[in-house]
Structure 1
Amino acid sequence: MDRIAQLKQFLEASPNDSFLKHALALEHIKLGDDITARQLFEELLAYEPGYTGSYYHLGKLLERAGDKDAAVKTYETGMAIAKAANERHTYNELQSAYEDLLY
């Protein structure tokens, strides 16, 4: 069984498991399926906005799609949440991606 099938099977048992959704989205990115990955990241962040690692990957995905405004907003939202949660490493990664995009 491939990784995507395994992750989907695990998600059937735990449909709101953010780690599993994040992992599944990353697997879709590896396959070049950004549409499915975006959907998974957006579902995950709607359910658990504090899952800060997903903002970086969603922002990069939006950059690749040419949606700069959505990427900027994603990074800004992620930075605000990471700052509030005192997640310095995540905040710094998001800030770096944000600044790279704007400057």
Structure 2
Amino acid sequence: MSKLSRINMLQSFAEQEPENPFNWYALALEFQDSEPDKASILYHKLLGEHKGYLPTYYHAAAFFSENGSIDLAKKTYEDGIALALEKNENNTLRELKNSYQNFLFENDMED
């Protein structure tokens, strides 16, 4: 399946089921490299409208960091860590904490 047909399919799913965060999340991942402005809009949508969708935080924080939004990346990591703690999702918590520590090191910040 081509990237364009995947995007079309995911957009169709998102229109049919706008309350399902996975559809928006999958679209954001598809757009990350090719259309970062669209990915950013989708990550903001997810973080605003689907705060409880934990998979968003890791990828959104990394995306914001790679695109120079350091403060937003830091907040996204911190919010994701808090949510993972709240939901008792230990594997996700470990991944977020490790990524956050690397982010802090790379950006010469302290926890």
One fold, TM greater than 0.5? yes
Identity over aligned pairs, percent = 37
Match of 2:68 in 1: 66
Question: Gapped runs of 5+ residues in structure 2?
Answer: 106-111
Distance 1:76 1:18 in 2: 20
Could you list the structure 1 runs, at least 4 aligned residues long, displaced by more than 3 angstroms after superposition: none
Local SS of the residue matching 1:50: coil
The correspondence for 1:10, drawn from 13, 16, 23, is 13
- What TM-score does the superposition give when structure 2 sets the normalisation length? 0.85
Question: RMSD between aligned alpha carbons?
Answer: 1.2
Higher relative contact order, chain-length normalized (CA < 8 Å, sep 6+): 1
Distance 2:69 2:14 in 1: 29
Larger radius of gyration: 2
Match of 1:76 in 2: 78
1:1-103 aligned at under 5 Å gives the runs 2-31=5-34, 33-103=35-105
Post-superposition shift, 1:80? 0.2
Distance 1:44 1:16 in 2: 10
Question: Gapped runs of 5+ residues in structure 1?
Answer: none
Report how many residues are paired: 102
Distance 1:9 1:76 in 2: 32
